[in-house]
Amino acid sequence: MHQVQQCWVIGLPDKALLERIRDYWKHSLYADRVHLRVFSQMDTLRHYVGLQTDVQLLIVDPEWKEEVHTDLFEGGDGTSITVVEMDEAGSSWHEACVKESTASYRVTPYQPLSKLFEQLWGLGLSIAKISEDPMKDKQDAARTPIWTISSGGGGAGKTTIAAHLVQYASERGLRTFYWNMDWIHEWGHEAQSPRAHQADSQAYEGSFSKLIYWLSRKETLEAIPPDPYILPMEELRADTFDSNIRRSEWNELDHEAVTSILNWLSGLERYDLIVLDTSSNHLLAEAAVLASDQVIWVLTDDCSQIRKSERCWKKWGNHTEGRSIAGRMQIVVNRYMGAWMNSFTRESSVQAYLPYIPQWKQRQRMDQGGSSEVFQAAFRAWIQSAAHWMHTGTPSRG
């Protein structure tokens, strides 16, 4: 495939908007396809562009357009640069870019950043007269992000953090799937829709076992409809699997089965995020970790948990089919009480400290964890840093 690299320069006085654009670019499919520089000062912008010869798109504020445009076209050195005016009155994603007599274009910042980038990318290709878009195959191959929440032992609070992650994503309009990979769930059907307690529950009874049966026959994944096998979780505004599974059937699950299930879920193009909740000592944990784009490791100030965690990290680092989890793992300390007694090798890698909430010992429902403003504040501060794409938007699946 022909590799195309575009060079964009964005000049806007709105620093907050520039920061959102840059954050989206860094965590998007365009990070390795677009060389991007952003400027909030006109003088610096003019100096940089004046020294460059490979800038394709110059995206500027309307008030800066005339000055930049005059510099480029009267100087004669920048005639290959296309000026794009970022104007609230510009074209939206659903309209074509409006080409003006001055050979510039207009786009609006009031659209999802994924759409803005897609629009600019297409404009860059058309200007360069490139008909084959190398981004298309990469976007088509992009799958639903998978996050695994794991820990070195029970009681660390991984299910609580998984529930907060699911709720947070759902609040932002992301279609989310949650899978607790333990045989016996902490909350069971209490977290599911009231339908699971009524007559309709019979429609889902044994549905997970039926799904495994069809997958074991290696049927075409696209031929398996999702609705008979997926239950709603109204408290978390997400979907999940039936938790009533016979132990004998659960024991038959293996690495291949988990991979098939995740491929099937991702191929549905129905979800923007898949959250896996599993303990590190679970036989299926390694399959979940290998399939994940992000591993959130929940740790508490407990010597036994720390030692188990470090042994697990070492084991997975040596036996994960060559795919290290180091670059995909974030360590989150839970039940933090303001001081740390024990030490561990990756202490400098801790991404967040989430406070201990004593009243949660009396919780009766999964969603009641959202009642603590202190925990919510700490959690949101972490997730806003860890998952920029939840705020800037994800590529649309139609």
**Rounded distance between C-alpha atoms, residue 30 and residue 277, angstroms:** 30
pLDDT tens-digit map of 294-338? 899 999 999 999 999 888 888 776 555 555 676 688 899 999 998
Number of neighbouring beta carbons within 10 Å of residue 362: 7
Residue whose pair of structure tokens reads 């074991």 in the numeric block: 216
End-to-end C-alpha distance for the chain, whole angstroms:
25
* Share of residues in the chain with pLDDT > 70 (%): 74
- List Cβ neighbours of 175 (8 Å cut-off, separation of 6 or more): 270, 271, 272, 273
pLDDT higher than threshold 60 for residue 136? no
d(CA 358, CA 338): 14
Higher pLDDT, 84 or 134: 84
Q: Which of 64-73, 190-199, 200-209, 344-353 has the lowest mean pLDDT?
A: 190-199
Indicate the burial class of 139 (C-beta count within 10 angstroms; 0-12, 13-18, 19 or more): middle
CA 249/CA 215 separation, integer angstroms: 13
Residue 326: per-residue pLDDT = 66
Token pair for residue 118? 């897609």
Helix 42-51 / helix 62-75 crossing angle, nearest 10 deg: 30
Q: Six-digit token pair at 228? A: 């008979």
Residue 288 to residue 51: CA distance in whole angstroms: 48
In one letter, which amino acid is 1? M
Q: Mean of the per-residue pLDDT values for the chain? A: 77
